[in-house]
Amino acid sequence: LADALLVRRVQTGDAHAYTELVRKYQDRVFTACLRICGRHEDAADLTQDAFLKAFAAIHEFRGASAFYTWIFRIAVNLSVSHQRKQRNRHTVSLDGDGGENDSGAWREPAAADGDPSAGLAAAETRAQVAAALAALDAEHRAAVVLRDIEGCDYQEIADILELPIGTVKSRIFRGRLALRRLLEQPDPLTANRP
């Protein structure tokens, strides 16, 4: 069913319809949360929180934007806020301890039918990219994640982040540039953050 219909059904008391919405978007929301917060467990919690928050406020959802834009806005805001708090506590993990590489969903095994070292190298590269991404400023990271992972266009990102498109454009550029510089470091996992 269309999102608008599902939302309308939720608004009229149909909790099942909300389950459908959760099922439909949980993977995307989780991925976005994970890429922003960098920790599998936190991402799962943030995803839950986002859907619960959306449910609690569903009566305020008036359909001016798509549901996925709305849920992404909630999730991204939660994730960015969470990340700021984490950063303030200096507990951001870039060394894999409790991070995404600890997650079964995040880690990929070496290729079974290929060179085991190639699979390992690919996994290491991904870990480096993920670590560099996690080292970005939260606002830049959110913009990059929405663009390059979620595939949102600039207008959607502007809607989700509630920013002018010009700012979105700037954040994506600066995020990519910072990411590139981090990846050029000998070891981005230990590189200084921008």
Partner 1 sequence: MTEELHSELGELLSAYLDDEVTPQERARAEELLASDPEARALYEALRSAASAVRALPKDAAPPDLLDAVNVRLEREALLAGADPEATLQRHRRPPTRGALALAAMLAIAVGGGIYVSLQLGDASHSDMQFARRDTRSDEAFEGVENPSSRNQPTETLGPRGRAQPLADDAVATMQKSTGDEATGDRDRAMRPSSRGGGLATNGIAADSPSTWRAKEAEEAADDVAQVTVDMLARAGIAASDERDAFADAGSQHDSYEAESEGAASATRALRGPHEGKPKRGTRRSGEPAVDLLGVLPTQTDRYLLPYLPPRTFEQRLADGEDWSALEKHPLAVEPVQLRVRFASASEAHGFTDRIVSTFAQRGAVPVSVLAGDAQKDKAATARTSLVQRAAQDAVAPSASVVYLEGAPGVNFPNDPTTNSQVLARVPGDWLIDLIDESAASDPEAITLRIGNWTMQGAASARSMASRAIGPQTAELESEATESLVESRSPVGGFSLASPADSNGRESLVRESSLEPPTDLTEWLQWVQRVAEPDLARATPSDADGFVTTAGIVAIVDGPVEDLPGSRPRTAKHLITIVIDVRTDTSPAEQPEPVP
CB of 12 to partner 1, least distance (A): 5
Distance CA 107, CA 109 (A): 7
First to last CA, the chain: 44
Q: Is 194 helix (H, G, I), strand (E, B) or coil?
A: coil
Position 60 contacts partner 1 (CB under 8 A): yes
CB of 9 to partner 1, least distance (A): 7
Helix axes 116-135, 165-184, angle to 10 degrees: 130
CB of 193 to partner 1, least distance (A): 16
Q: Which is nearer to partner 1, 41 or 88 (CB)?
A: 41
Position 140 contacts partner 1 (CB under 8 A): no
Distance CA 65, CA 18 (A): 17
Distance CA 38, CA 100 (A): 6
Dihedral sign, Cα of residue 122, residue 30, residue 155, residue 141: negative
Binding string, 28-47, against partner 1, x = CB under 8 A? xxxx--xx----x---x--x
Binding window for partner 1 (CB under 8 A); candidates: 15-23, 68-76, 82-90, 110-118: 15-23
Element of type H or E holding 73 = helix 67-88
Residue 64 makes CB contacts below 8 A (sequence gap 6+) with none
Binding window for partner 1 (CB under 8 A); candidates: 69-77, 79-87, 88-96, 165-173: 165-173
* Residues contributing to the site for partner 1 (CB under 8 A): 1, 4-5, 7-19, 22-23, 26-31, 34-35, 40, 44, 47-48, 51-52, 55-56, 58-64, 103, 105-106, 108, 125-126, 129-130, 133, 144-145, 147-149, 153-154, 169-170, 172-174, 176-177, 179-180, 183
